[in-house]
Amino acid sequence: MILRKPDFYDCFKCTASKCSDTCCVGWEIDIDKASQETYRKVAGVFGDKLRANIEDGHFKLLPHDRCPFLDKSNLCEIYKNLGEGALCDICREHPRFVEVYGDIMERGLGLCCEEAVRLLLEGEGPLAFTSEECDEPEDELDEDDEEIRNEVLYEREQIFRVLADNATPFSERLYTAFGITEENPFAPLGNVCDLYELLAKTISFGTVWDKALARIKARIDAAGSSPIEDQGFFTETESGRLLTYLVYRHFAKCLFEGHADGKRNFALFFWNIVRFFTRELGGKINAIKILSRQLEYCEENMEIIESALDA
């Protein structure tokens, strides 16, 4: 099998307590069966605490959805007491993700993690991908499905190629890849109010998002008939890398889920939100992080957005 990864994937290392956020708050933490069996056998006081905080295959969260094993320094007590190997699958792998398309496996890092965002944005030049052989099992594809897979990946590769062409003005690359023009900077939607209204249809993950969405609405209302402009925080290189990465993560899923146009346009929609509302979303890295968490980690929200953006 061929394994593909973005150029910054192997540089990732969790920053633990140095992170301004934590992935151990606000998520339901499912425990795989192998880890449950490991925890069942842990002796002593810590073993008792483990078992007392597991219910129906997940950890019983504390108030404010805090993991019961996250200490005051935002460090994991399971890691500290039992080592990395004792972490359940989701804790060990997050924010990594994997997709398999026949004999091609693709890995990446979710942008809900600020360190992943930092690595993506700080990379030099266009986003690139590495390929290598790996021993993971393949998903069987018949000849017709493999042909369709190859067509989808070829179309995606053309988007990558266009976005990486630094010899071409960025506006022309956006038009070739997505059809966006200077006359309609809010494409694939018609105007900034359309951007907000689509966001407002999504299911909120919590008060952090609610407050950010309210700030976006306040800026739109304050602008009135005046145009909302790009706040200018993202360089062309950063924008190109972000757009490429979003296409990488989502476009090929149309093989299983449909919405090919919606998945391509999702990248443009995401980029428009973070560039027009960087301040309202808390700065460049936080803007990407909070929007990723709100949209990419909720199947219902992705369905709402991609369906609306599907041509």
Report helix, strand or coil for 205: coil
User: With 90 as the cut, is the pLDDT of residue 65 above it?
Assistant: no
H or E element, residue 108: strand 104-109
- Per-residue pLDDT averaged across 143-155, rounded? 95
For the purposes of burial, counting CB atoms within 10 Å of the CB of 32, is it exposed (0-12), middle (13-18) or buried (19 or more)? middle
Q: Which residues contact 260 (CB under 8 A, 6 or more apart)?
A: 152, 251, 254, 310
Mean per-residue pLDDT of the chain: 93
User: With 80 as the cut, is the pLDDT of residue 297 above it?
Assistant: yes
- Per-residue pLDDT averaged across 64-83, rounded? 88
Domain positions in the chain are 24-93, 143-309
Convert the pLDDT of each residue in 234-273 to its tens digit. 999 999 999 999 999 999 999 999 999 999 999 999 999 9
Question: What pLDDT does residue 219 have?
Answer: 97
- Alpha helix stretches (DSSP H) within the chain: 33-41, 44-52, 77-82, 89-93, 114-122, 143-164, 170-178, 192-200, 207-223, 236-250, 254-257, 260-276, 284-295, 299-309
Above pLDDT 70, what percent of the chain?
100
Q: How far apart are CA 215 and CA 297, in angstroms?
A: 22
Quote the pTM value: 0.90
Q: Which of 251, 253, 246 shows the shortest CA–CA distance to 99?
A: 253
Q: Which residues contact 295 (CB under 8 A, 6 or more apart)?
A: 202, 270, 301, 302, 305
Question: If pLDDT is split at 50, 70 and 90, which confidence band does 167 have?
Answer: very high
- Per-residue pLDDT averaged across 108-131, rounded? 96
User: With 90 as the cut, is the pLDDT of residue 277 above it?
Assistant: yes
Question: What pLDDT does residue 25 have?
Answer: 80
Convert the pLDDT of each residue in 204-241 to its tens digit. 988 999 999 999 999 999 999 999 999 999 999 999 99
User: With 80 as the cut, is the pLDDT of residue 310 above it?
Assistant: yes
- Per-residue pLDDT averaged across 18-41, rounded? 84
User: With 80 as the cut, is the pLDDT of residue 26 above it?
Assistant: no
